[in-house]
Structure 1
Amino acid sequence: MALYHKSLYVFDQHRPIPALVRNYEPADIPALIQIQQESFPPPFPPELWWNEEQLHHHIRLFPEGALCIEIDGQLAGSMTALRVDDSARDEDHPWESITDAGYIRSHRPQGGTLYVVDISVRPRYRKLGIGKCLMQAMYDVVVHLGLTRLLGGGRMPGYHLYAGERTAEQYLNAVVEGELKDPVITFLMRCGRTPVRVIPHYLEDEESCHYGALMEWNNPFVSSAR
């Protein structure tokens, strides 16, 4: 296994700050759980935060997909992925089933698609572009492993404001057209992801009315990517 280790700078306005993206390890588990707690405070269900067993599974089953970013010796964010079959792009799957509720025992070592399980950034670091750095690191993993694409479902937290007047598909189209801005979908588009379709009952998320937007990033070096 080739470990990921990338030094870079993030920016606090015009001030560059050294950062490091690397694979997370067992010693990082307490900090990773704290990141989840800070990133998803109540009313987010605490039982959906990472637990130690899940994180040990990530590190053991697919360490290449277990990434974190470190600033001044402190973990500021993390991102987790697993490999799935390319056919996942054409299936309506809830997050819980495709990720094994975050335990990733559904990981397919020969799968051609990298599937995003989670991305979390501590609130005090969110103006530094850390989420984009983590996403770019996962694109690096896709290219390094020669996979077809990165795939994952994005929350649509702005949709509940328009659910009475638009379908989920119409809301997503309005975001893509620039008519509306969604905190998650717009961020993912800025990171290079493109929407595939809306998936109903993707995640227990009242703000998204339980919908998710399946979004992908295709490996530009693999001709079979759609």
Structure 2
Amino acid sequence: MYRKELFVFDRDRDHPMPAVIRNYKEEDFASLIGVQQECFPPPFPSELWWTREQLHNHVTLFPEGALCVEINGEVVGSMTGLLVDFDPDHPEHTWEEITDRGYIRNHNPNGNTLYVVDISIRPSFRKLGLGKWVMLSMYEVVVHKNLHRLLGGGRMPGYHKKAEEMTAEQYLQAVVKGELKDPVITFLLRCGRTPVKVVANYLEDEESCNYGTLMEWKNPFYG
């Protein structure tokens, strides 16, 4: 099982804070659901917040892909994944299809790719860089299990402001070039993820106009 202890820093203060990244367990479920509610308020559909049944599947079917972040003993974020057998020549899919609507009953122990189901950090803790730290921890899981890549679909929550001016693909390129900043895509770029493809109707999400950008991190040790 996974456990990492480290110090994180508030961007506004040089004050180290101890943090722990570890596998989450059943006793963490209430806290994890609370994190979801804070991270994805309306208009994000509340039915997409975690349920206890989904979380139970995460810790039962693929516990290595169920990570949470603690500050002072409080769960303030999480990241969840499953293994899939991804074919780069046929990348089209929806979030619901590839994650089994978050239930991960389609987890494939022999899959070549760790697929990100979700990542969320409480808004009041986002200045600590915890999202990047938990992403790096999931990269370590990819290396440990000798997988091809980490892959996931990123929301594009800034796109609805530009949808009348440009296509989703043009919006992504503008973000990659640094001409625009997107809360999710820019964050993923900073974590070392690279774009694979823009997918229409990836997720029910008004801010993204239902688009998602598949973004990967390739295992540099694979082969």
Q: TM-score, normalised by structure 1?
A: 0.96
Report the equivalent of 2:41.
Answer: 41
The residue correspondences of 1:49-88 to structure 2 (distance < 5 A) are 49-87=49-87
Q: Aligned partners of 2:86, 2:222: CA distance in 1, in Å?
A: 13
Report the equivalent of 1:10.
Answer: 8
Report the equivalent of 1:107.
Answer: 107
Deviation (angstroms), 1:78: 0.3
The alignment-based identity, stated in percent, is 67
Q: Map Cα deviations across residues 124-148 of structure 1 (whole Å, 9 max, x no partner).
A: 1011101001100100000000000
Using a 3 Å threshold, how does the CA distance of structure 1 residues 20 and 196 change in structure 2: closer, same or farther? same
Q: Aligned partners of 2:89, 2:204: CA distance in 1, in Å?
A: 21
Q: Aligned partners of 1:88, 1:19: CA distance in 2, in Å?
A: 36
Deviation (angstroms), 1:169: 0.5
Q: Aligned partners of 1:156, 1:90: CA distance in 2, in Å?
A: 22
Q: Map Cα deviations across residues 173-212 of structure 1 (whole Å, 9 max, x no partner).
A: 1111111111100000000000011000000111111000
Q: Aligned partners of 1:87, 1:26: CA distance in 2, in Å?
A: 33
Report the equivalent of 1:119.
Answer: 119
- Conservation of the 8 A alpha-carbon contact between 1:76 and 1:122: yes
The 3-state SS of whatever aligns with 1:151 is strand
Q: Map Cα deviations across residues 72-117 of structure 1 (whole Å, 9 max, x no partner).
A: 0100100000000031673210001100000001111100100000
Report the equivalent of 1:131.
Answer: 131
- Conservation of the 8 A alpha-carbon contact between 1:59 and 1:66: yes
Q: Aligned partners of 1:153, 1:61: CA distance in 2, in Å?
A: 21
Deviation (angstroms), 1:47: 1.0
The residue correspondences of 1:153-192 to structure 2 (distance < 5 A) are 153-192=153-192
AA at the equivalent of 1:169: E
Using a 3 Å threshold, how does the CA distance of structure 1 residues 150 and 89 change in structure 2: closer, same or farther? farther
Matched positions, count: 221
Q: Aligned partners of 2:151, 2:22: CA distance in 1, in Å?
A: 21
Report the equivalent of 2:201.
Answer: 201
Runs of 5+ unmatched residues, structure 2? none
Q: Aligned partners of 1:156, 1:212: CA distance in 2, in Å?
A: 6
- Conservation of the 8 A alpha-carbon contact between 2:155 and 2:213: yes
Runs of 5+ unmatched residues, structure 1? none
Report the equivalent of 2:140.
Answer: 140
Q: Aligned partners of 1:86, 1:202: CA distance in 2, in Å?
A: 16
Q: Aligned partners of 2:24, 2:60: CA distance in 1, in Å?
A: 11
The 3-state SS of whatever aligns with 2:87 is helix
